[in-house]
């Protein structure tokens, strides 16, 4: 079992709709969760971080965390063509250790006009 | 505040050679992590440095090494290059590398091994 799993996609969503990206992780003790966006040929950029169960909203983005189900998701409202990218879910398996972020393989999102 | 910088941006080497990549973190950041990204394996953690010490290491052979200087700049070295080392090498910096710390990525160095 991979430590961080994502559906590779591609996920095709019409412009203006909600895109839902999902991620599961294996280490039940994980405390820190991140969503990065990566455009083709570019480096990852942080979109959201979440540490507590529940929802965290930032503009059109909402991260959702459910530690009991070991599940984290990212919702993108009012999807725009510029949202077309690969979205990487990342998990830091322990709270206080040095950085060793584990990344999922990413979900390719395509927003169709 | 300037972002993470990496040099060089592109490199072409041949098998058996060695290569050194450089990373300058965001000012004030003391933790630098290195990752290898390939289409087949995704983003894989190489190692992390903090205060000139390697604090954490991924599952890569000893040909991959690194160091960090007193100004937090970091270098990674790959010796005896293999074709499979062709990848995008990313470094990321964070304040102190704790579990809740956010990592910011540099633009990467694209290494091609012929």
C-alpha A49/C-alpha B100 separation (Å) is 9
**pLDDT higher than threshold 90 for residue B98:** no
Query: Per-residue pLDDT averaged across B78-92, rounded?
Result: 96
Mean pLDDT of chain B: 93
C-alpha A1/C-alpha B67 separation (Å) is 32
Which residues on A lie below 8 Å from B46 (Cβ)? Answer: none
By C-alpha distance, which of B69, B68, B92, B71 is closest to B28? B71
pLDDT for residue A25? 94
Dump strand ranges (E) for B1-114: 5-7, 10-13, 19-24, 31-38, 42-50, 53-57, 64-68, 74-78, 87-94, 104-105, 109-113
- Asked if residues A79 and A19 have their Cβ atoms less than 8 Å apart, the reply is yes
Return the bridge partners of B75, or none: B22, B67
pLDDT for residue A96? 43
Query: Per-residue pLDDT averaged across B80-94, rounded?
Result: 96
Contacts of B13 (CB under 8 A, 6+ apart): B19, B81, B111, B112, B113, B114
Residue ranges in chain A modelled with pLDDT below 70: 1, 94-99
- Asked if residues B109 and B11 have their Cβ atoms less than 8 Å apart, the reply is yes
- The 10 Å Cβ neighbour count of residue A17 is 13
**pLDDT higher than threshold 90 for residue B2:** no
C-alpha B110/C-alpha A110 separation (Å) is 25
- Who wins on pLDDT, A99 or B98? B98
Contact A31 B100 (CB under 8 A): yes
Tokens, residue B30? 């003391």
Which residues on B lie below 8 Å from A103 (Cβ)? Answer: 35, 42-45
Q: Which of A7, A34, A43 to mutate to test the interface with B (most CBs of B within 10 A)?
A: A43
- Who wins on pLDDT, B101 or A17? A17
Query: Per-residue pLDDT averaged across B44-59, rounded?
Result: 91
C-alpha B27/C-alpha B32 separation (Å) is 12
Query: Per-residue pLDDT averaged across B17-34, rounded?
Result: 96
Those of residues 6-35 in A touching chain B at CB distance below 8 A are 31-32, 34
The C-alpha of B81 sits at a distance from chain A's nearest C-alpha, in angstroms, of: 23
To 10 degrees, the CA torsion angle through A73, A78, A82, A88? 0
pLDDT for residue A94? 65
């Amino acid at each position: 079992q991979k430590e961080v799993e994502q559906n590779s996609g591609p996920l095709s969503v019409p412009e203006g709709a909600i895109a839902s990206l999902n991620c599961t992780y294996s280490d039940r003790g994980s405390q820190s969760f991140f969503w990065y966006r990566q455009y083709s040929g570019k480096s990852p950029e942080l979109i959201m971080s979440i540490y507590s169960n529940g929802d965290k909203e930032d503009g059109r983005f909402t991260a959702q965390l459910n530690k009991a189900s070991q599940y984290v998701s990212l919702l993108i409202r009012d999807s725009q063509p510029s949202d077309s990218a690969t979205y990487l879910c990342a998990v830091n398996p322990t709270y206080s250790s040095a950085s060793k972020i584990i990344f999922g393989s990413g979900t390719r999102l395509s927003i169709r006009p | 505040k300037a972002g993470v910088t990496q040099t060089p941006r592109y490199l072409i080497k041949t098998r058996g050679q060695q290569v050194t990549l450089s990373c300058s973190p965001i000012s004030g950041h003391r933790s630098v992590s290195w990752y290898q990204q390939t289409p087949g394996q995704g983003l894989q953690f190489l190692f992390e440095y903090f205060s000139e010490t390697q604090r954490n290491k991924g599952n890569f052979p000893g040909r991959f090494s690194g160091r960090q200087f007193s100004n937090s700049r970091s270098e990674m070295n790959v010796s005896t290059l293999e074709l499979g080392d062709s990848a995008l090498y990313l470094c990321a910096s964070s304040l102190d590398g704790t579990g809740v710390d956010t990592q910011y990525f540099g633009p990467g160095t694209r290494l091609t091994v012929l």
